[in-house]
Each structure stands twice: as structure tokens, then as C-alpha cells.
Structure 1
Amino acid sequence: MSLHRTELGETGSRVVFCHGLFGQGKNWTQVAKALSADHRVTLLDMPNHGRSPWTETFDYLHLADLVAAELGDEPVALVGHSMGGKISMCVALRHPALVERLAVVDIAPVAYDSGREFIGYTQTMRGLDLGSLERRAEADAAMAAAVPDPTVRSFLLQNLRRTDDGWHWQPNLELLGRHMDELAGWPSEGLGDASYDGPVLWIGGADSDYVSEEHAPEMDRRFPRNRRITIKGAGHWVHSQQPEVFLEVLRRFLA
């Protein structure tokens, strides 16, 4: 299985981005362009998302191995947000020689209680009558009641694509909805006592509760060389809510 990728930059060290649930590699384009003068940047579409192939089940360890296969022999700086952050952490724990450093955006190496709002997003997207859809604006209007935040709706609708045979959702919504518990989970048993000794930066949003002090013991156990930064005025989507601050923080870490 080969994942869809976008490459930017021709010189410098390699930086690879892993997006979150319902995202695509292109969500990182603004950050990637800013880094491309000094780094070779790769934007990956995660399995079951964007233009990458679908899998038959959802397993963080399997997804991490698929991403690791895309990295090549040269160690990279790996950046992952949310679901992509969990995949990136698993890559570092299972294939440490491939990861020179790791930046994790607003997620911890723990199991959360549920898929939270993402369950509702999946149901809303699957419930949309694509057969009667003529314009993207109609999809936006149909989702407005269930997803009132226009920024979130716009983010979800980036996954709606029109081809010769009509409208389609790019993510594997059936599989993702069926495995929401696994998505919210963390494969601690499958990782044993593995730890990653490279430098790790946690970038959290001050208005998010995905990373808290109660997660610190597991973060320190798995990633002993970590430091944590919280960005004010940002929630879970730190890189889109405070892009300039996020970029400066990431630049310093990569340097």
C-alpha cells in the first residue's frame, strides 16, 4: 500500500506531517510552504483519508507501519496532529531509527473515553443524501444544524469530492465510524514497554483538554525527552487557530 503524498522544498532536513481524523495532507500546506525554504517537507494522506487507500480495519500499530514504510532510510522529523499524532507516536515507538525528532499536536498517548464530537460528525456526513446533491453549498446547508460551527463544516466538506459519477466522501466513513472506540483508544498492550529516546515536543491548545497533567506520567514514560508548550487562543486545531505562533514554535524545534 502506497500513501498519497505531496512534496515541498528541495534542501535541508526532512519533515513529514501526519494529519488528524477527517483531515488530509493538504491541510498542512500553509505550514509546509513556510518551512520549505529550509526543509524537505512531505505531506501524507493517512490511510482511509484523502487520496490514500483504505484499510480493512483500524489498528494504530498497522497504520504506523504503513506510515513508516513511506519514510525511507533517512531519519525524519515527524509531526502529527490528533489521530496523526497517535500514529506518529507509534511510528517513533516501533521504528525509532526512522524518527530523528517528534512533534505531537494536542493529543496524548492514552485512551480517551469516546470519540467525542467525531461520532456525530461521522453520522452527519454519512447521513447526507449525496445522490440528490447538485452543489457543495447544498451540503453545507444540510449539515448546518448538526455542525453549527462554519469552520468545522468547511473542514469536513473538504472531504467531499465530485467525480464523473457524482459526489463522494473521500474518507472511509463506514470503517471510521465502526472503529471510533479504537480511534479514541491507544494500543498500550501492543507496544509493551517501548519508549522513544529522541527529542519530543508536545504542542497543545490552551482551550483544549486533550492534553492535561494527568497524562504527563505516560508521556514521560514513553517519551522521556519531552517538553510541553501550550498555545493561548487555540483549541484542538492549534495549527489552524494560531498558525503564526504554531509555525514559530515548530521552527524552533526543528532547528
Structure 2
Amino acid sequence: MLNILTHGDPAAPKLLIAHGLFGSGRNWNVIAKRLSDQYFVVCPDMRNHGSSPRFDTHSYFDMADDLAELLDGPSYVVGHSMGGKAAMVLALRHPELVKRLIVADIAPVTYRHTQSQHINAMRSVDLSAIERRSEAGKNLDPEVRDFLLQSLDVKEKRWLLNLDTLEAEMPKILSFPEVSGSYDGPALFLSGADSDYVQPEHRPAIKNLFPNAHFAKLRDAGHWLHAQKPREFEAAVRAFCV
């Protein structure tokens, strides 16, 4: 169902990468192409993102089930931020499909910050007057401008995001659902050393659901650790997914 980009030999071990909020599978092209020498890398557009279908719902159960449809056996699973929460729920609901799990800079907790301001900023762009992607960036937060603009289809003058559903479902995106059981397989919680998304007080919740969890940080990286330190992120994936 999801639109996917693939890299590498389909006969190689499968590695699924789930992107974060407002992202797309192609955000991961550089890392995915480098990893494709060892893995068959699958990078989906999550529901309500990119070229994947639009829905009225955006729960982590929805997203986990979407990801499960892409896996036909035990696979390596990597997820960042929103995609990390979806990957966690996938591992908890379908442990037989997850050989090893890497969760990038997110914890199974509810966060207080919201991302609705970015939705409002994207809506405020007069797309009818846009001829070049750079022209749309004036209203956007400089810290995430380039990232958000990757989801702008200038030719069709539309955002490749279901902004209405993402706004309506923001409370679900910020939270983490009640999930029974645990995932006993190897799990790596990889964080940016400069990020505040994964705190020491989150570890009991992580260990409760993922008793075999390991923790590591990338130096001089924040929440967007894979974009800020791509080679280090790639090396961590290769070291863990063996």
C-alpha cells in the first residue's frame, strides 16, 4: 500500500527505514544507497506523507500495520522520531517480523511540544504564486525550512503531506499508545548527544517494553542525527544490524 523506494539486491537482508513527521522515504536516499552494498533497503513514504495514500487517521497502530505489510520475514528495522515510534509499535505487535530494531532519537513517551506551527506555516504559503521552491521558504522556520521544502511539489503547487489529518491527529503523534507485551529482541536506542528527546528518566519505560535495549549517542548531533552525522549513523547501523 505504501509508496516505497528500494536500494540494493532484493536477495540481501532486508532493512526497513521509517522516516519522521513531515518527511519522506527519499530523505534517506544518501544513507540508503550507501547501506545497499550490504542490505536490501526499503524506504517507504509513511501514510499521509509523500506519494503514499491519504487517510483520515494517523495512529501508531495504523503506521505499524502499514510497515508490517512491507515485511515478509524477520528484517532489520530503523525508525526516526515518528517513524521510530511506529517501528517500536511494529516490534511490539509483530515481533516475528523484526530481527533487530534501531530507534533514532525518540522514546515511547508522550511529548509536550507540538509541530502544529509548521503546519500553519506551510498553509500560509501562497502556492499559486510559487515558481521556485526557494520562494516558499520565507514563512518557514529556518531550522527546518530545507527539510519541509523537500515535501513541496512546485510543479503541482501542493504539499506532499496530508496537513489536515496530521493536524487533527497531532495528539496521537505526540503520544505513545498503550501496547501490551514486550519486544525481547535486540534494540538500539540511538540518540543525538545534543538532543533532549531521550532523557534518562525515559529509560524505565524503554526497558519495560524493550528489555534487551542498548543505548548510544552520536556526538555533536541533535534530533536530526542521521542528517547531521550520516557516516556515523551509517556505521552504527552496520555495527548493530549483523
Determine if the TM-score, normalized by the shorter chain, exceeds 0.5: yes
Secondary structure of 1:103's match? strand
Secondary structure of 2:109's match? coil
**Residues 75 and 98, structure 1, Cα contact 8 Å, conserved in 2:** yes
**Partner of residue 147, structure 1:** 141
How far residue 180 of structure 1 moved from its aligned partner, in angstroms, is 1.4
**Residues 58 and 172, structure 2, Cα contact 8 Å, conserved in 1:** yes
Supply the AA of the counterpart residue of 1:52.
Answer: S
How far residue 254 of structure 1 moved from its aligned partner, in angstroms, is 1.0
How far residue 58 of structure 1 moved from its aligned partner, in angstroms, is 2.0
**Partner of residue 98, structure 1:** 97
Q: Displaced runs of 4+ in structure 1, greater than 6 A?
A: none
Provide the TM-score with structure 1 as the length reference.
Answer: 0.91
Supply the AA of the counterpart residue of 2:241.
Answer: L
Using the TM superposition, name which of 9-18 and 40-49 deviates more.
Answer: 9-18
How far residue 85 of structure 1 moved from its aligned partner, in angstroms, is 0.3
**Partner of residue 213, structure 1:** 200
RMSD across aligned positions (CA): 1.1
Supply the AA of the counterpart residue of 1:98.
Answer: L
How far residue 114 of structure 1 moved from its aligned partner, in angstroms, is 3.1
Secondary structure of 1:16's match? strand
Q: Please list every run of 5 or more consecutive structure 2 residues that lacks an aligned counterpart in the other structure.
A: none
* Identity level (%): 44
How far residue 95 of structure 1 moved from its aligned partner, in angstroms, is 0.6
Matches of 1:243 and 1:51, distance apart in 2: 25
**Partner of residue 83, structure 1:** 82
Matches of 1:46 and 1:58, distance apart in 2: 10
**Partner of residue 136, structure 1:** 133
* Superimposed CA distance per residue, residues 159-216 of structure 1 (whole angstroms, 9 cap, x where no aligned partner): 00034xx40000111111122111100102xx13x10011000110011110011000
Supply the AA of the counterpart residue of 1:135.
Answer: R
1:176 aligns with 2:166: yes
Matches of 1:179 and 1:12, distance apart in 2: 36
**Partner of residue 34, structure 1:** 34
How many corresponding residue pairs? 241
Supply the AA of the counterpart residue of 1:183.
Answer: I
Q: Please list every run of 5 or more consecutive structure 1 residues that lacks an aligned counterpart in the other structure.
A: none
